[in-house]
Amino acid sequence: MSLKNCPECGKVYLDNPAEMCPDCYRREEEDADKVAEFLREHPRSHIDEVHQATGVKHKIILRMIRKGRIVGDVNIVYPCESCGRPIAEGRVCEECGRKILSQIKPAEKPAPEKREDQAKKNSGMFTTKF
């Protein structure tokens, strides 16, 4: 076990699976209950509406979404991390995802030349000097 600083409040705590101090973890559980209760009544809410109604910080709501704590018949929307367009799952919208993939994908290589063409290029007389 190692000591770490809580990412929420900065207090020192023993490393645990929650990756935060017990006090902040307890608060996050209470916030999760508030969000879940609100979403049962308003399943197609925007993240700003959830924040306004519950007082739970945006980053905590997003963390719950990423951890899979908000699931089921709920369709909460939040902004794409790249362009800000509203999305209901993942971190980026489809268009930004395609842009990212096109940048990552290696450039198309030209088709390999046929062996006959290579044989013609390599034909000729080669000499070596002894």
39-76 confidence digits (pLDDT tens)? 888 877 778 888 999 999 888 888 887 777 776 666 67
Does any domain span residue 101? yes
Identify the domain containing residue 92 by its residue range: 15-105
The Cα–Cα gap between 115 and 12 comes to 67
Q: Would you state the structure tokens that stand for residue 108, as one six-digit string? A: 């198309």
Angle of helix 58-66 versus helix 22-41 axis, rounded to 10:
80
Does any domain span residue 50? yes
User: How many domains, the chain?
Assistant: 1
The Cα–Cα gap between 118 and 107 comes to 23
Does any domain span residue 91? yes
Q: Running DSSP on this structure, what letter comes out for residue 8?
A: T
List the beta strands (DSSP E) in 39-104: 78-79, 86-87
7-18 confidence digits (pLDDT tens)? 889 999 999 988
Taking the model in full, what pTM does it have?
0.57
